[in-house]
Structures are given as C-alpha cells and as structure tokens.
A and B are shown apart, each in its own frame.
Chain A
Amino acid sequence: MSFESLRIGNSGLTAAQKALDVTSRNLANAGNEVYSRQRILLSPVESGTGPGDGVRVLGVERIRDVLADLTFRTEAGLAQSNSLRADALGRVESGIGPLAGNLPSLVNEMFDAFNQLSMAPTDPAGRESVINASSTVAGEFNRLYTNLEDLSRDMQANAADLVADLNSSLKQVASLNKVIAEAEAVSVDTSSLKDERDSALDHLAELVGARTQTGLGGEMQVIIGNYPGVTGEIPNSFSLSGAGTSVDPLRLTSSTGVTVPVTGGKLGGTLTYVNSDTLALQAELNAAAIVVRDQLNTAHTAGFDLNGAAGLNLFTGTGAWDMSLNAAIGIDEVAASASGAPGDGNNALAISQLRQDTSPTGALGATQAYVVSVGSRTQAAARTAEISQNVADGARTTRREISGVNIDEELIDLIRYQRAYQASAMAVTTANEVLDTLINRMLR
C-alpha cells in the first residue's frame, strides 16, 4: 500500500471523464447524418511488478465499415444515374402530351380533314382545314424535336455544373487527405475530419459514381472510371467536351485530354441521356416524320389540284426538325382530285384511307410507335431507377446501423462511465482515508 492507489484512482477518473466526453459527443450528434459514432478505447496499464497501474485511454475509435461504405457508394452512384435519366425521359414524355391528343391524334385529324374534303372537294373551307391540319402535324414534329434538343441542352448545361462540383469536391478530398495526415502525425483526433471526408466521398459517388480506395497511409484515393481523381494529396481536374452528337458525344475529359468513361452518378445519367437516349429518340422521331412525309407526298402527288395541275409534295423537309407544309401549297393546290376534274374528291378520299395503314410504315402507325416507344423507354428507366434506389436505400440503412448513434446505448454508457467515475472517486477517497489513518492516527 502506497500512494499508488491515488494514482490508479486518478487514472480511472481521467478515463471515465474522457469516456463521458465521447458519450456526450455521440449523444450530441445523434441526429447528425454524416456523423460516425465513436467509441473510447481503454486499456489496463501494465506494471512490471504488481497487478497493474490503472487504466489508460488508448484513443477514440470511429465506427465505420469500409465494405458498407463501398457498397453504399456504388449503389448510390447507380441510383443517381438511373433516376436522373428516368426524370429526363419523364420530361420527354410529358412533352408529348396526354395520350388522347398527342401526335397520333393530330395525324388522325389530318386524315379526317382529307376525308371531309373528299365530300366537298371544291369547298375552300375544307381545303383550308386540310392545310391547317397538315401544317399542325408538321409543327408538332418540329415542336417534339425542339423539345428533345432543348432538354438535351439543359442537361448539358447541368453537366457543366456537375463537373464544376466534381472538381471542387476532388480538391476538398485531396486537402482533407493532407490535413488528416498532418493531424495524425501529431496524434490529434481526426474523427470529424474523416466524417467530413467520407461525406465528400459520398457526394463524389453520387456525382460521377466515383470509387474509393484506402491508400497505404490511410489517405483516400478517388477513382473515376479507372482514372485517378485524387491521388494522395493531389487532385485531378476534369472538364466536359463534345457537343452531344453521335460523332462528337458529350464526355468527361481529364486535364491531359483523356476521355474518362463515366456511367454512374448524376453525370453518368446525364451522359447516357444526352449521348444515347436523346440521339435514339431524335432518330426515331425523324424516322416517323419521314414516314409521314413520304406517305402523304406519294399520295398527294398522285392527285390533281383545283386547277387540274398535278399534285405537289405536301410536306418538305428532311426530318422532324425541318418538316413543314410545302410553301407552294395554297388553297387551290390541295390535290383532292384523282381525275383532274375539280369536283372529284377521290384523291382526298384515297389519302384519308391511308389511316387504315397502322403498320410502322404508315403515318399513323409510325407516330403511334414513337409515342409507345417513348413510353416504354420511360417506364423501363423509371423501374430501373426505383430498383436501384431501393438497393441504395438498403445500403444506406446498413451503414446507419453500423455508424449511427443509438441513444439508449449511449445512455447506458453514460450511466456506466458515471458509475466508473463514482467508483474511482470512491477509490481515491478510500485511499485518502487510509493514508489519513496511517499518517495522522497511527503516529499520534
């Protein structure tokens, strides 16, 4: 029995205080999404001769599971990519309009107008309505094409913002790598810095589907589509290039000019939409426009106009973007007649009969096919997005289960360390009394 007990008691008091600090910090961050719960690591102090020298604080451990992080980031990247693409396709679909009243019904109305004209081939009002209905169809093709173009342009502008965000996040991770290494060299607690870095890495995964790897020195390496984003303390910077066309697709380029393949994250979704969906939809829309143009032109040129002249092409243009009613078509030039006699409406009738051709090579069939194609594309994308969102949510839940704070657990720790503190305090008091007895009473 010596003054040892006082020192052992003191170590207990210190450890318990430190433990209470950690517990309080956990409780304070119970509602903080980016916080990882911490646990104090205690160890008995070995002494050479006796039963030990009390307790020692080894450090504070941050509870984090690397696998859960990696899983979450992979899935979150996919989920962001898919949901962005699904949103964009949803906007394309809303642009088409409600099922009753979209492109195919305008084509129907055009055939109706021709049918009406066949019954009164010399009626100027009937001719006028054929012209209006046809130019409405052409205008709708223009509008749908412009919609696709505008949306693609918006997405490209958004992609530029994403890349700016990407570059600044990479810088942030690189500088956090540096700060953490420096702090750890002098044994300063880096938990909150690491939380900050993890949150930046999550953000990177959601941006571009970036993968992460822990380096030898504990620094986080960021990899974007097999290309290094952050190596140690050095960030790379990226830029967008390409015009979003089939020959010059929109792509992420490194500072050295290498094209970086990105499929995940918001940027991945944007690139997929711009480079693949938009181009495919534009091609389908053009194909439909060409079917309508050719079918109507063939039928219209087979007839004769009010003055007995051979019918002109009804539509001009090379695709959906520039399709328009032939400027030379006026009221007199509508070729309603099959024989040349002005009172003959048989060519208008023949044109209106084209409505029965619902095959993909018919005007009605082609436009219906486009609407359905946009619909199934949108539906498939929305389903994929929903599934990957569920998987990402699952991964997030797993991570919360590991790193989140359970208040009851912390309250128990609070009692535990409070009791430990009280016990150590009692040990100090007892040792004090024992020494008091020894020094003051026994010598008297």
Chain B
Amino acid sequence: MRVTSTGTFASIHQAVTDAAGRAERARNLLASGEKVSKASDSPVDAAALLRVDSNLSAIASYQRNIVDARGWLNTADAALQDAINVLGSAGSLSIAGANSSRDPQQREAIAMEIDALAEQLSADANAKYLGTAVFAGHSTEAVSYDSGTGSWLFTGTTGAVNRQIDASSTMDVSLDGQDVFGFMAGDDVFTVLKDLSAAIRAGDTPAISAAAGRLDARTDAIADALETVGTRTNAVERLANRLDLTTVDLSTARAEIGEMDLTKAVLDVQSTQYAYEAAVAAAGQAGMVSLLDFIR
C-alpha cells in the first residue's frame, strides 16, 4: 500500500468527521431521550409506537367517558335515593291519612303535603347531569306537568345513552324514566300520588289503602332501578381500574420501544466522545514527522 499525502489527510478528515458525527448523534439521543423520533430510525418500532400511541389516546378517551358515565350514574343514584325517600314519606302520610279520626282540615293538610311530594319527585325524575336529564333518554325533560289534565306526562325520548367505557364495550348510562316511574306499566307514580291525595281528601279509606298498595309497587320499581345503577357503577369502577393498569402497561411498552436506555445512552456519549478525541489526536500526529526532519 502506498501512503499518499492526499490519501492520508482525506482519511483523517473522514475519520474525524465520522467520529464527530457519531458523538453528535449519541449526544442528541441522550438529550432527546427518544430512540425512535422519526419512522426511518426504525420502521418496525415506529409502527409499534404508532399503535401504542393510538391505543393510549383511545384509552384516554375511554377514561373521559368513564368520568362522564360515573357522573350520569351518580346523578341517577342520588335522584333515585331521594325518590325512594319521597315515596317513603308518602307511605307514612298515607297511613296518617287513613286514620278515620282526622278531620277534613287535617286531611287537606296531608293531601297538600302529598302534592308537594309529587312536585319533589318530579324534580328527581328530571334530575340533570351537565344540563341533560338522566331519565329522559335523548330528550331534555323526563316529566312535565300538564295543567289541562292536571297530571304528569312522560316527555322523554326513549333511547340508549351509550358511553364507550372500553375498547369492546359500551354502556347505556341512562335509565328509561318511563319504566322507572311507572309510565310504561300504565300506572305512573305521579298518578298514584294524585289518587292518594284525592282519596285522603275524600277520606275514602279503601281507596287510600289501594293507592298505598300501588305506591309500594312503584317503590319496588325504583329500588330495582337503583340496584341497576349500583351494578353499572361497579362495572364502571372495575373497568376504570383495568384501564389504569392497561395505561401503565402501554406506557411501559412505549418506553421500552421508543425511549432511550439511559445507562446505555450515557455510555454511548462517553465512548463516542473518546473515539472523537482519539481521532483528533491521531490527526494531530499525522504528518508531523517526515523524511524532512532527518535530512539536511
């Protein structure tokens, strides 16, 4: 091999440039902390990262949905608890009203109290989460008072309010008010209360006890609905936990694929820096000695 001066200096130039480039890359990797910052760094890893990222973003949206589902279910839960209390009060009042020793004035007072309970119940039936009625399906109001007939009407639009709580499952977070409050059964709780107050006003004991019986049936239906809400809440919480775990798993996977092993990165920076220094030192030595130094 002939060693020529253009060759020597060209290869020194190449060696120093290469070493500087490798050192620069190692420093960039350490600084960015990302092993795969563009797809061409490693197409296979990039594809995996894109998949993991879109899964993570999907899970983030499921988690937002779960927050919303929880809000719906909690609102329904509170409303139904209150409805049961209301009906319980109405039950006690019916017993008080059935007492034949009451005078009409007292009966009127009890009847008015029951009418007030119906009002309170209508507020429960129209309970809203973020401005949307939770028992009205796709409508904004579940029940409304028709002054013409003097009774409450179901004004909801039956339909599922689905929330995506997992990749594979959606949950209907609404309850059909028509069902819960007895409109479907043809004997809604408002009519029952109305009949009850009318019977108490009239002092019609058999009618009072008949209405009290119907009231129990309605209370049972609401208790059933409450149980449904409880079951759904449990399911939501279970899924929320699972999603948290999945997020951790996916983030770990993401780190393994896309992020730099810190120890390795630091070592790489060190070793490429040494290599660069060695190349520069070699460049400094090259051409320092020639035959010129020995002839005169």
Residue positions of A touching B, CB distance < 8 A? 30-33, 37, 89-90, 93-94, 96, 98-100, 104-105, 108-109, 111-112, 115-116, 118-120, 337, 339, 341-346, 349, 352-353, 355-356, 358, 364, 368, 371-372, 374-376, 378-379, 382, 393, 396-397, 400-409, 411-412, 415
Contact = CB atoms under 8 A, between A and B. Distances in A.
Nearest to A411: B291
Contact of B61 (A96, A115, A342, A403): A115
Contact of B50 (A93, A104, A341): A104
A119 B159 contact: no
Nearest to B130: A120
B282 interface: no
14 contacts: A30-B5, A31-B5, A32-B6, A115-B164, A339-B159, A341-B159, A343-B157, A349-B163, A352-B164, A400-B4, A405-B5, A406-B2, A406-B3, A411-B291
B10 A376 contact: no
B47 interface: yes
Interface of B: 1-7, 9-11, 14, 36-43, 46-47, 49-51, 53-54, 57-58, 60-61, 64-65, 68, 130, 132, 136-140, 157, 159-164, 167, 170, 258, 290-292, 295
A8 to B, nearest CB: 28
Given A115-B64, A343-B132, A376-B39, A401 B162 contact: no
Given A115-B64, A343-B137, A401 B2 contact: yes
Contact of A353 (B1, B137, B164): B164
A180 to B, nearest CB: 23
Given A32-B6, A96-B39, A405-B4, 9 more contacts: A104-B50, A108-B53, A115-B64, A343-B140, A346-B162, A372-B50, A400-B7, A401-B3, A405-B5
A142 B108 CA distance: 74
A411 B292 contact: yes
A144 to B, nearest CB: 13
A119 B139 contact: no
Contacts of B60: 112
A406 B4 contact: yes
Q: Among the interface residues B9, B54, B164, B292, which one has the most CB atoms of the partner chain A within 10 A?
A: B54
Contacts of A118: 162-164
A372 B4 contact: no
Closest 5 CB pairs between A and B?
A375-B39, A404-B4, A341-B138, A400-B7, A343-B138
Nearest to A86: B40
Contacts of B170: 349
Nearest to B157: A341
Contact of B39 (A93, A115, A411): A93
Given A339-B138, A341-B157, A411-B290, A404 B5 contact: yes
Contacts of B157: 339, 341, 343-344
A407 B290 contact: yes
B47 A372 contact: yes
A337 B138 contact: yes
A382 B2 contact: no
A31 to B, nearest CB: 6
B43 A376 contact: yes
A382 B40 contact: yes
A99 B4 contact: no
B9 A31 contact: yes
Nearest to B174: A343
B7 A397 contact: yes
A397 B10 CA distance: 9
A434 B36 CA distance: 87
Given A344-B138, A379-B40, A116 B46 contact: no
A90 B220 CA distance: 69
A228 B278 CA distance: 48
A404 B61 contact: no
Contacts of A404: 2, 4-7
A373 to B, nearest CB: 8
Contact of B65 (A115, A355, A396): A115
A191 B46 CA distance: 55
A401 B291 contact: no
Contacts of A401: 1-4, 7
Given A115-B61, A393-B14, A400-B7, A120 B132 contact: yes
A406 B164 CA distance: 77
Given A341-B159, A368-B50, A408-B290, A98 B5 contact: no
A346 B50 CA distance: 27
B7 A343 contact: no
A406 B137 CA distance: 92
Contacts of B9: 31
Nearest to B51: A358
Contacts of A412: 291
A98 B37 CA distance: 6
A74 B191 CA distance: 96
Nearest to A381: B40
Given A400-B10, A405-B4, A105 B46 contact: no
Contacts of B57: 105, 108-109, 112
A365 B57 CA distance: 14
Nearest to B48: A372
A99 B49 contact: yes
B61 A111 contact: yes
A112 B132 CA distance: 21
Contacts of A339: 138, 157, 159
A113 to B, nearest CB: 10
A284 to B, nearest CB: 13
Nearest to A342: B138
Nearest to B71: A119
Given A31-B6, A337-B138, A343-B157, A99 B36 contact: yes
A100 B4 CA distance: 49
B37 A343 contact: no
A341 B174 CA distance: 15
A349 B164 contact: yes
Contacts of B292: 407, 411
B139 A341 contact: yes
Nearest to A393: B14
